[in-house]
Every structure is written in structure tokens, then in C-alpha cells.
Amino acid sequence: MDLTVRQMDAEEFQRQRQEVLGQWQTGKDVFFEEAVAYQKSLPKSKIFAEKLAEGKEKGITYAQPRAGVALINEHIELLRFLQDEGGADFLTSTIDSYTRQNRYTEAQAGIEESAMIGRSMLNGFPAVNHGVAACRQVVESVQVPVQVRHGTPDARLLAEITIAGGFTDYEGGGISYNIPYSKDVSIESTIKYWQYVDRLIGLYEEQGVKINREPFGPLTGTLVPPAISHAVAVIEGILAVAQGVRSLTLGYGQCGNLIQDVAALHTLPVLAEEYLVKLGLPKVMITTVFHQWMGGFPQDEAKAFGVISWGAVTAALGKASKVIVKTPHEALGIPTKEANAAGIRTTKQILTMLKDQSLPMTPELALEEDMILAETRAILDRVLELGEGDAAVGTVRAFQAGVIDVPFAPSRYNAGKILPARDTTGAIRLLDFGNIPFDETIKEFHRERIAQRGRDEDRDPSFQMVIDDIYAIGKGMLVGRPRG
């Protein structure tokens, strides 16, 4: 199949489908018409897109945790606890690492070992191995919508099984679940894999079944400038809508500076709608998700709650549709269910307190919004130019040219030339622009902001600032200031 943004034809989809459903034995239990009927039987309260639409209309910011363990009963117990004791508005089935790499034999061994020793030996829920019936058992055991969150470059079989299994939201994308996660997987191949996923969801949509799609916004979660994550989110949105997706939640990971983060949340849906119109694609429902801080956390629980709370404040003031919640055990590994629930309750307390407040439009907020819009448009316009109007082709060429460049990504298909650092207020700027197509006005803005930090700290801007910033929050700061 040649790479193109255009909708996958039916013959190609069916050819791939036969291969995909044969990748593991549980694929034989997927029947599209029966799955459509099951999805239609779900109550409205369990349909992600319906609840997001209600929240958007009422101005509600919802709270959603991450969660997943190896065995079905224990996974259900965990989700029920987060629903009942944490008050989660949405739930997640986070998928284990073996499934993310399509290593189903090893996932099966992890299930068996977990059952034998009585605790989860996998870092998530192996949905492919458990199959359609088990996924339905999960969905039926809770009262709120459940999303699949993972990190899978080739997520085709996982999509087939979990959507047939009653999940109504599917996270990821051909860029966001490749570049930050994989070293040797080509962007062209993952775009094609995810076009299959999006076409599958488009087929459900055509049968009257609403499946929400959510590109993964934070990328590497380490000093990612808003324009980079926005460009990726908009492209993945374009690719999804072209295949028939009609409900999109676009994500953004907290940077830490309140004004920059609120500006990013304000501008993300504006850019998505702008480029969908520009490319002649259908109007779709667009919502936003804000990810609480994705970098290093303090080990001290009280300090960790401080980081969680700051993320909740930003989500509330930025009017995100939902916020992905962190836990006070973030620095220690997989959290207990009690710690996970505590993170949700902390977040919801703040969301409730701030629901009627917003950040006033100050000159600094307006400037941040203008800069994010200008920077993101510069990247997206160059992507479309490189692809001669085709966003899929343009994306591959843009990564080859370094026009899109994700900081600190492991992928060899990513240039890795840009160097981000914080300015003196903690906003993320670029110390080295690599081949990002910013004009001189934008570049001078970044240079001056970082130079001001250098003057404030009495040191020349350098790579040391980058290192200091990466570790700062874990040490109790936002900006990595030199000691003394």
C-alpha cells in the first residue's frame, strides 16, 4: 500500500484484516457485525464521546487515572476501586509492555506467572491475550466509560479486540506511539498501521457507533515545546479524520509554566479546526486532554501531591476537557490502588474549586498564544508543502528533514537536533532550533527569553541549563537554577 492521507480502500482493509486477526488466537472471536451490535447495546453513560460532549457543553474538566494489571478479576477490582474510592470520571485499561510490542507469547507467560504467584507480573492489562469476552467483562463491571491506553506502534489487533470488547476510546497514533517509544520502527509503517486503526473506527462510526480517538500529546514528556506536540497532534487528527474518525481528543503534556500551558490548551483546538477546514475534511467533535507532569517526580509524597495539584490547577484554568492524573508514587514505580485513588481525589478537589474561574487574557497570555499559533503553523505549513498537500507523505519527509523534531526521542527516524530549555519564568523555549522552520522573529523571541535567564543566573546559556531543567522538578523546582 502506497502511503497517502486518503481513506484506505475496502479491499486493502480486508486484506490486512485477515492477517491482523490471525496474529493471535483471540482474533478469531472478533466479528464486526456482532461487535457493532454489542457497542450499540452499551448505555450512554459508558460511551466516551457522549460523556465528553456533555462535559464540553457544560464546561466540565473530568479526571482520569491510568491503571492496569495482568489478571481479569484483579484488573476489575482495581478499576472499581478507582471509580468508587477515587471518584474517577473515566477509567483506563493501560496495556502491558509485551502487548505493546506484539509479543503475545511472553504476555501469556506473564499471565500464567501472575496467576501462579498471586500478584501482577505485567505492568498492564494484556487485552489481546484475554480476548473479547474478557474485555466485555471489564466494561460491564464498571459504571463509567473505559479507554485503552498503551504505547503500541502496531496497534491493529489490540484495536480489533478492545473495540469489539466494548471499549469506547482508543489512544495513540502513528507518530506519538512510535517516535517516543521505538528505536527502529519507520514512521511510514506506523502511519499505515494507525490508518488501519482509524479506518476500523471509521467503519464503526458508519454503523452508528461512536469511538473516540485520542492522539498521545506529551510525546517524550521531557521539555517538549508546545508547537512540536501541537503539530504532531494536529497531524494525527488529520490522519484520523481522513479515515472516518469523527470524535477527537487532542492531548498536551504539562510544561509547568501556567501561562504557557493555558495558552497551549487554548490554541490546540483552534489549530486542529483550522487545518481540518484548510484540507477540506469534515467537521468533527474536538475536545482536549491535559496530562499532569510527565517528567521526573519528587520521591516525597507531600511534594508529589504538590506537583499533582499544580497540574490540576492548570487543567482547570486552561479549561481542558479532561486531565490524566498522576500519583504520589510516581517516582517509586507502579502505584498502589490507594495512591492512585488519592491522586484522583486531590485533582478533583481542585477541579471543583476552580470550575468557575479562568485565567484572564493578559498581554503575556496573548503573546504566548500568538507565538504558539505562529510556531505550529510554520511547522504544519512546511509539512504540507513537503507532502505536496498530503499530510501523511509530508510527515515522513518532515521527520527526514528535521522539520518535526521531538526532543530526547529514541527513534533513529527523529533528527534529535533541537535543544529545549526553560526561560527564567519556566516556559519552554529552544536553545538550538535544529531544522525547525521558524522565521527570525520567532527565533529572536526564543533567544532573548533564554538570554534573560542567563543574565538572571549569571551564566551563559548552554547544555547545562537543559540538564538542570530535566532534573529540576524532582528536586523541588521548575527552573533548574545553579546552586548558590
Answer yes or no: is 335 a known binding residue. Answer: no
Answer yes or no: is 305 a known binding residue. Answer: no
382 given a catalytic annotation: no
Answer yes or no: is 100 a known binding residue. Answer: yes
Alpha-carbon distance 249 to 54, whole Å?
Answer: 14
The cell numbers describing 351, all together, are 477541579
**Closest by alpha carbon to 475, among 330, 296, 333?**
296
Answer yes or no: is 326 a known binding residue. Answer: yes
Q: Which residue has the cell 548558590?
A: 484
171 given a catalytic annotation: yes
Answer yes or no: is 19 a known binding residue. Answer: no
Answer yes or no: is 334 a known binding residue. Answer: yes
Answer yes or no: is 171 a known binding residue. Answer: yes
**Closest by alpha carbon to 473, among 310, 244, 246?**
310
Answer yes or no: is 103 a known binding residue. Answer: no
Answer yes or no: is 150 a known binding residue. Answer: yes
Burial tier of 482 (Cβ tally within 10 Å: 0-12, 13-18, 19+) = exposed
Burial 453-462 (b: 16+ CB within 10 A, else e): bbeebeeebe
- Which residue out of 100, 199, 213, 246 is catalytically annotated? 100
- Which residue out of 17, 156, 160, 171 is catalytically annotated? 171
Binding site residues, as ranges? 66, 68, 100, 123, 149-150, 171, 177, 180-181, 297, 326, 330, 334
- What residues are annotated to the active site? 100, 171
Binding site residues for adenosylcob(III)alamin, as ranges? 68, 123, 180, 297, 326, 330, 334
Binding site residues for L-glutamate, as ranges? 66, 100, 149-150, 171, 177, 181
